[in-house]
Amino acid sequence: FIHFYVEPIEIDGMRKGTMLVLRDVTKETEMDRLKSELVSTVSHELRTPLSSIYGFTELMLNRDIDLSKQDRYLKTIHSETERLANLVNDFLDVQRMESGTQSYQKRPLDLRPLLEETTQFYAASTTKHTITFRSFNETGPWIEADEEKMKQLMNNLLNNAVKYSPSGGTIEVVLTADQHHVQFTVRDEGIGIPKTALAKLFEKFYRVDNSDSRKIGGTGLGLAICKEIVEGHDGEILVDSVERKGSLFTVKLPQMVTSHSAVSEMIDMS
Ligand code: ADP
């Protein structure tokens, strides 16, 4: 985006000519867009959990509360508070991305147990979906990575797979590795993504504009954060999808170039 305006050129108070000034305001325009997206997302996404927490605490404060329902109310308050905390953390992550202050604590990391445990956690928390994990490697592969960020990446992808598969189905996580690269995929049989939306999917605040996605709700930040994390680890993230059939997210990362004994030494040292 270019703004232009005309300025007079004056020397000793005498007008000597005019100057055409062109200013590239792409960055400002992008910031304005992000700010207005932020305001509308915040008002929309904060309202639902807040009103639910408010409503359930009101019920709990009522002297005539039915004690048998107390547990259920508390569970809702707890999960809605968690949702708010996640939302705030996502906003903070995006702010760090914008200001270039996101940092990674990279250490040697065995990817397999991390993926397996996260998958098992999701499998245990749903009865609607079948969630499986497969790896073609006996041990490893090892990568040089920030463990918390890798968990966040996995959580975002699995969370979406569950969220956008309202009719259930299988969600499959597969880990493979060759000499230099590690690859893992998250495949679901959910609502899928229109071909025209694929190119914009990893942009901040982007959400597919159809009734299904709108009903499900979200901020459009999860995948932007995933991309930032993957690229912060010199990798790439790809998506392929067929509407009403399902989606496939692929993460490729460089494999750590160290023998296993060297890896254990590095762990001992840290
Ligand atoms: P959010 O889920 O909070 O809207 P994301 O950045 O995680 O934000 O995802 C962006 C958009 O991509 C979603 O709004 C949704 O339209 C689409 N999307 C992401 N993952 C999936 C998936 N597994 N299946 C179908 N659509 C998806």
Kindly give the confidence (pLDDT) of every residue in the chain, 270 residues in length, as a single tens digit, with 9 standing for 90 and above. Answer: 778 888 888 888 888 888 888 888 777 777 787 788 878 887 888 888 999 999 999 999 987 888 888 899 999 999 999 989 998 999 899 889 888 888 999 999 999 999 999 999 999 988 999 999 999 877 779 999 999 999 999 999 999 999 999 888 999 999 999 889 999 999 999 999 999 999 999 999 899 988 777 778 888 999 999 999 999 999 999 999 999 999 999 999 999 976 554 555 555 555
What does DSSP say about strands 169-177 and 236-242: parallel, antiparallel, or unpaired?
unpaired
249, 188 in Cβ contact below 8 A?
no
Long-range contacts of 33-36 (CB under 8 A, 24+ apart): 34/98, 34/204, 34/205
> Which residues on neighbouring strands pair with residue 187, listed in sequence order?
172, 248
pLDDT at 120: 96
pLDDT at 247: 98
Residue 205 neighbours by CB distance under 10 Å: 17
- Count the alpha carbons within 13 Å of 27 in the hemisphere toward its beta carbon: 4
- Cα 221 to middle of ligand 1, angstroms: 9
Nearest in space to 153 (alpha carbons), one of 92, 235, 98, 95: 235
Ligand 1, atom 7: closest residue by C-alpha? 222
CB under 8 Å to 202, separation ≥6 — which residues?
A: 223, 224, 226, 227, 237, 239
- Cα 134 to middle of ligand 1, angstroms: 24
pLDDT at 259: 56
Max Cα–Cα distance, the chain, nearest Å: 86
Ligand 1, atom 19: closest residue by C-alpha? 160
pLDDT at 163: 94
pLDDT at 269: 55
213 lines ligand 1 (CB under 6 A): yes
Give me the phi and psi of 177, to 5 degrees please: -155, 145
pLDDT at 267: 57
Nearest in space to 269 (alpha carbons), one of 104, 142, 107, 147: 107
- Cα 30 to middle of ligand 1, angstroms: 21
pLDDT at 4: 81
What does DSSP say about strands 129-135 and 169-177: parallel, antiparallel, or unpaired?
parallel
Buried b (16+ CB within 10 A) or exposed e, 216-231: eebbbbbbbbbbbbbe
pTM of the model: 0.83
- Cα 87 to middle of ligand 1, angstroms: 15
220 lines ligand 1 (CB under 6 A): yes
pLDDT at 270: 52
